[in-house]
Structures are given as structure tokens and as C-alpha cells.
Amino acid sequence: MTPAQALKEIQELTSKINYHNDLYYQKNTTEISDQEFDLLLKKLEHLEKEFPELKQPDSPSQRVGGTITKEFANVYHKYPMLSLGNTYSQEELEDWDARVAKGLEGDAYEYFCELKFDGVSMSLTYENGLLVRGVTRGDGVRGDDVTNNIRTIRSIPLKVKGTNAPASFEVRGEVFLPKDVFLQLNKEREDIGEERYANARNTASGTVKMQDSTEVARRKLDCYAYSLLGEDVADTHEESIQKLEAWGFNVSPTYRKCKNIQEVIKYITEWDTKRQDLPLETDGVVIKVNSLEQQERLGFTAKSPRWAIAYKYKAQSISTRLNGVTYQVGRTGAVTPVAELEPVFLAGTTVKRASLHNANQIAQLDLRIGDYVFVEKGGEIIPKVTGVDLEKRKEDVQPIQYIANCPVCNTPLIRFEGEAAFYCPNITGCAPQIRGRVEHFIQRKAMDIDSLGEQTIKQLYELGLVKSPADLYSLTREDVLRLEGFKDKSAKNLLDGISKSKETPFESVLFAIGIRYVGKTVAEKLARYFKSIDKIAEASLEDLLKAPEVGEKIAQSVYQFFRNEDSQLEISRLKAAGLQFESTAKEPEKLSDVLGNKSFVISGVFERYEREQLQEIIVQNGGRVVSSVSGKLDYLLAGDNMGPSKREKAEKLGVKIISEQDFEKLLTGHTL
């Protein structure tokens, strides 16, 4: 290769890798697999070694991939947070072992193996036994201070156990979303018509950087601790891990000390299949030299330690024939394409179907029936199609024509602006949408009618007895006895269950009626704020936006829902059936008008009040709580750890920024 060719390639690789780094770390998405990414980086490193003078100033081989954000305060790391060198091959692992041996000049050494947890790394600082800071890796030198969010993670001790921890130390750990939590979260999102999250890692990373800690708490993040830093804290990594366990940190019990690289390889082989049963995603094994003194001797490169390496498992992928594409219609009318495959054995199970994200993905992959496609198993139960084996493509294969009509009711499909999915707009006449709405309605978090299940709903629909949730309330004993397997007693049970649901409180009813984007939390907030369905139905877009946590998307959806004739009819029938459409929660007493209709945005954490308490106090005293900073806002009530971007915006717009103490002054009638 000539230097000119090398330069061109180095420049191209540099900008390509930087592009994917930006997607991965800033936008929490990916366009290529980790393995492809790692291959690009290897290529670049290789070329840079051969032509060191051509290395670009922004080379990704010299820096940790992430960056800091504006939404959080930035903190310098006491010890830089680096990346890990990685390999996918046993041979390279043995080369690394040889380099370690050479670096240690013949001294004996041991390894310590841990699984490579796939989440986001976190630095946790403890002082006098208390958690004082949680900071993201950021660019490795500085990270985002996300302490408030980290405090919501139950497995991270706020106070360490025992009395023998040093006065000051730092713990490194991986924050992750357990697989089951991730699946549940996606199920809930699908249920209210939100797009599914692509994978658990990206979702964990996005969650850690959310502005609202109460929402973070609901997401149920978890954390595994894997390193301890401080002065004279331990002699070996093993000892650090034992201390972390003793102090109450959550350490994955999957680690093992290994005498040599052969034992390491045994560990790697063993966990390749066993790791599938772990509660979280893992993508490899991290191998560390056990002695901390030896770690120090081996030192670091620009972006990773020489005393550790990540052995990454190749994604479990296989190629098989795409026999066809079928389409599923969900409760919200969203159409999901499914790949029908020539059955193939992959990672312990036979795979016949795989998910195709949406029409865009089919076009992007340029999929054709009869193609050989690569199928990959990630954390999801259903495998996904990741690419086409072009070498095996036959000449006569035709591009896939995405369907134009609903596969169930034949209504022409529509697409909403800015969304990738196609929808069947026949809300009241399309079977899976109708059944899905009833299933949503009866679920535990909604009306909680456990005497009804999917099968019964299906039968009720097929017999023409239930076409909407309201129909449930006019079912008779005779109707129910027509269902297969129902006798006197079971029929009575079913009807009693339906009847009892009339007592379900308003906020659950509001969730049950299935307004798009209105999940349980939002329903609770709306119910609390507006008090009755009539108030919500009358609310203008502007009124809706004033409710806590309601943004443009939710406001639009709620507004449209109540202007739709079918929903109006359904609500009036449910009202007639006797469901609860008013909040019975006690009205917060009006205490005064001292805040004179002034508007407040609440941000950050407060010493003496919870956020919700502040909201209540403001309303009780004649003020209003709004969700975003604008020129019309009267006060930004700022607590600790408020995002700098909010502050900046308020300053720019000339909005008064007030403290907790200022707020108390306002309450006693002072002006500021």
C-alpha cells in the first residue's frame, strides 16, 4: 500500500468509526454490529502502526469513545475511566498472555476472570462509608454527574456495610437492565403504542441519563461492581472483589481465579453457553492480571490497561433461507413484519421466525424472498435478521413488496409522520385491534379482571358478544354459558369479576381505556391533575400541556382521543355501566392564593421537599406547575444537581431562578 492510499483509508476509517461512536454513545443507537465495529477499529490500528505519521488528530484509537453532556454537571475522574482492549480469537489471547509474561520479566502471575457485563460503566465514590457521587465514563477524563439517578438503584449501597472500609474509595461497576425487566418494559411500551427499545444496553445507557429520577427508579436498573480503587485498598484484584462483597456491593458470583491462560480458555468455553441463563446480557469475558502490583508494572496504553483484555464472544449468527414475510397487527394497529425462515438450529433452539423491525429495515437490507439471511440471537427471545448473504443470492429473486392493505381486514394501511411503522386505521373493525384493546383493558394494571383471559376474549369476540370493552358490562349469564367450557359456577365467577371491576379507581380506568402513549404513570398524573374524565375531555392542548410530565406527543394524543366519535361513544357507555370517572383522591385543600397564578418549573433535588410535595404546595397556594422552561415562565425552582442546560436556558430567557428558601419566602407573601 502506498502512503497516499494509506492516508485515504486512514481518513475514511477515522471518520467512519467516529460516526459510529457518536451514534453509540450520544444517541444510544447502532447501525452496525459490535463485531463489525471492532473490525473497523482493528483495521485502523493496524494501518496506524504501519504508517504512524498518518495518524489523524481525532483518531478513535487514542481516545475512549464517549463524551460528556450538557444536561448534567461534569466531574473530573480521580482515576481515568478507560476502555478495554479486545479480541475475538484464542490465538490473540495467547499473544496477549505472552506480552504479559514478557512485561513481568518471568515473574509468576495469575489471572482473574469475570464476565463482561453489557451495560454502562459507572464510577461510584464513597466517603466515610456513604455514596457521594455516581459519574458516567464520559470521555474517560470527565463524566456526567448522575448521582440522583444512581441513588435509585437498590443494589448500590448508599452506605457500606461494616466498619472497616477506608474513609475514601471508588468503586467501578456496570449498570444494566436485567433481561426480564427489559422485556417487560418493551411489552409495556408496545401496549401503549410506543416503539420498542432496540436492546437492553442502549436502554440502560439512556435511562442513566434521564432527567427525572422517579422515572429512573421505575425502570429498575441493577449494577454489578467489578473494581475497587483507592490508596492501599488491596494487594490483588481477588481481594478487592472480596471486600466489595463484604461491604454490601452486588458482585456477580461468576468470577474465577485462573492459574494460567489455559484455565482462562476453559473458563471462556464454559461460559459461552452458560451465560445465556444469566439474568443480564454479557458479551464476553474480562481477564485481569490478579496482582495489583503487577498491574501497575504493566501499565496502560493511551486508552486501555495492558494488564486486562476483553475476550468477546462472536454474536451467534447463522445463515438460512428466507421463505417469506408475514405481517402481524397489534393492539394499536401497528403492523410488524416477520421473517418466515427455513428452520435452523441456533444457540440451543430451532429458529423458524425472526423479527424484521419495519418496512425501512426491509428496504435497507434490500431483502428478497429466497435470499439467504443472517439470523442472530441477542437478548430478545425472538431472533433478528441482521443481513443478507449476497454471495448466495439467486438471480431471479424479487425485492419484497411491503403490503399496502391490512392482512386481517384489508383496510389500506397508513403511516404517521415521523414514524417508521405502518398502521391499520380500522380501529373499531379490525379483529386483533379489538381483541387487543379488551386485553389491555382487563390487565392487572388496568381493570384487573382476572376471570377473563386471552382465550375467553377471543371466543367472546368470535361469538359477536364483545366488540369493545364496554360490551363486557352488558354480558348476561346466557351469553357466557355459550362459551366453551363455561358452567354455572365459572360463568358466575366471570360476571362477578366484571361487575367488581366497576370499583376500580379512576386512574386505572383512564389507563384501561387505552389512549395512545398514556401509560400507567401518565394516567395517574392526569387523573390527579384533572380529577375527572370530563375535565380531561374538555381540556385544550394548552391545558393538557400544563399537566405534570405531559409533553407535546402525549397532549396531542389525549386531545385527539377525546375528539374521536368512537371513543366518545365508548366512554359514555362505560359511564352508563357505572365505572369510576372521577378521582376520589382527596382534593388538596386550597390554602391560599399567595402565589397569584404564577408559573413554576421544578428541577433538581431539594433538601426539605419531594418534588411531588412541591407540586402540591404550589397548586394549593394558587400557583401553576408547568413542564418546560419558556419565556413566559415566572420561576425556575432549582434544587441541587439541576441540569446546566435548563439553567442556561432560563438565564438566557431572563426567567427568575429561585432556591428552596426563596420559594418559602414567596409562600409567606414576600416578593423576590
Ligand X SMILES: NC(=O)c1ccc[n+]([C@@H]2O[C@H](COP(=O)([O-])OP(=O)(O)OC[C@H]3O[C@@H](n4cnc5c(N)ncnc54)[C@H](O)[C@@H]3O)[C@@H](O)[C@H]2O)c1
What is the footprint of Zn ion within residues 606-665 (CB under 5 A)?
Answer: none
The correct pick among 10, 20, 238, 434 for binding ligand X (CB under 6 A) is 20
Question: Considering beta carbons, is residue 369 or 427 the nearer one to Zn ion?
Answer: 427
The correct pick among 430, 637, 638, 666 for binding Zn ion (CB under 5 A) is 430
Q: With binding defined as CB under 6 A, does residue 197 bind ligand X?
A: no
DSSP 35-88: HHHHHHHHHHHHHHHH-GGG--TT-TTSS-S----SSS-EEE-SS------EES
Residues 169 and 229: beta-carbon distance below 8 Å:
yes
Q: How far is the CB of 264 from ligand X (least distance, A)?
A: 14
What is the footprint of ligand X within residues 281-320 (CB under 6 A)?
Answer: 286, 310
Question: Residue 422 has which C-alpha cell?
Answer: 405502518
Contacts of 239 (CB under 8 A, 6+ apart): none
Stretch that binds ligand X, among 20-28, 381-389, 405-413, 421-429 (CB under 6 A): 20-28
Q: With binding defined as CB under 6 A, does residue 219 bind ligand X?
A: no
The correct pick among 14, 28, 61, 121 for binding ligand X (CB under 6 A) is 121
408 binds, among Zn ion, ligand X, none (CB under 5 to 8 A by kind): Zn ion
Question: Considering beta carbons, is residue 64 or 367 the nearer one to ligand X?
Answer: 64
> What number of other Cβ atoms are within 10 A of residue 514's Cβ?
23
Q: Is 430 one of the annotated binding-site residues?
A: yes
524 binds, among ligand X, Zn ion, none (CB under 5 to 8 A by kind): none
User: Hey, what amino acid is at 357?
Assistant: H
CA 363 to chain centre: 26
Contacts of 438 (CB under 8 A, 6+ apart): 452, 457, 460, 461, 466, 468, 469, 472
**Considering only CA atoms, which of 193, 190, 94, 77 is closest in space to residue 137?**
77
Q: Which member of 102, 116, 458, 546 is catalytic? A: 116
* 387-406 footprint of Zn ion as x/- string (CB under 5 A): -------------------x
CA–CA separation, 25 and 37 (whole Å): 13
The correct pick among 14, 61, 83, 295 for binding ligand X (CB under 6 A) is 83
Contacts of 564 (CB under 8 A, 6+ apart): none
Question: Considering beta carbons, is residue 291 or 557 the nearer one to ligand X?
Answer: 291
The correct pick among 7, 73, 84, 315 for binding ligand X (CB under 6 A) is 84
- According to DSSP, the residues that pair with 151 across neighbouring strands are none
Q: How far is the CB of 405 from Zn ion (least distance, A)?
A: 8
Q: How far is the CB of 414 from Zn ion (least distance, A)?
A: 11
User: Is 116 marked active-site?
Assistant: yes
Residue with cell 386512574: 507
Q: How far is the CB of 408 from Zn ion (least distance, A)?
A: 5
430 binds, among ligand X, Zn ion, none (CB under 5 to 8 A by kind): Zn ion
Question: Considering beta carbons, is residue 286 or 666 the nearer one to ligand X?
Answer: 286
The upper half-sphere exposure of residue 347, i.e. CA atoms within 13 Å in the direction of its Cβ, equals 21
Q: Indicate the burial class of 598 (C-beta count within 10 angstroms; 0-12, 13-18, 19 or more).
A: middle
Q: Is 113 one of the annotated binding-site residues?
A: no
Question: Considering beta carbons, is residue 433 or 501 the nearer one to Zn ion?
Answer: 433
38 binds, among Zn ion, ligand X, none (CB under 5 to 8 A by kind): ligand X
Q: Is 36 one of the annotated binding-site residues?
A: yes
Q: How far is the CB of 82 from ligand X (least distance, A)?
A: 7
**Which conformational region is residue 59 in: left (phi greater than 0), alpha (psi within -120 to 50 degrees), or beta?**
beta
CA–CA separation, 280 and 277 (whole Å): 8
The correct pick among 9, 38, 582, 616 for binding ligand X (CB under 6 A) is 38
Q: Is 137 one of the annotated binding-site residues?
A: yes
Residues 430 and 436: beta-carbon distance below 8 Å:
no
User: What is the dihedral angle through the alpha carbons of 573, 576, 580, 584, rounded to the nearest 10 degrees?
Assistant: 140
Question: Considering beta carbons, is residue 75 or 466 the nearer one to ligand X?
Answer: 75
CA–CA separation, 74 and 82 (whole Å): 17
CA–CA separation, 45 and 48 (whole Å): 5
Q: Is 34 one of the annotated binding-site residues?
A: yes
DSSP 176-232: E--HHHHHHHHHHHHHTTPPPPS-HHHHHHHHHT-S-HHHHHHH--EEEEEEEESTT
Q: Is 84 one of the annotated binding-site residues?
A: yes
Residues 508 and 523: beta-carbon distance below 8 Å:
yes
CA–CA separation, 638 and 646 (whole Å): 10
**With CB under 6 A, what is the number of residues at the site for ligand X?**
24
Q: How far is the CB of 426 from Zn ion (least distance, A)?
A: 5
Q: How far is the CB of 328 from Zn ion (least distance, A)?
A: 11
What is the footprint of ligand X within residues 39-68 (CB under 6 A)?
Answer: 64-65
Q: With binding defined as CB under 5 A, does residue 424 bind Zn ion?
A: yes
90 binds, among ligand X, Zn ion, none (CB under 5 to 8 A by kind): none
What residues form the annotated binding site for Zn(2+)? 406, 409, 424, 430
* Contact set with Zn ion (CB under 5 A): 406, 408-409, 411, 424, 426, 430
What residues form the annotated binding site for NAD(+)? 34-38, 83-84, 114, 137, 174, 288, 312
* Contact set with ligand X (CB under 6 A): 20-21, 23-24, 30, 32-34, 37-38, 64-65, 83-84, 86, 114, 116-117, 121, 137, 174, 226, 286, 310
Catalytic positions, please?
116
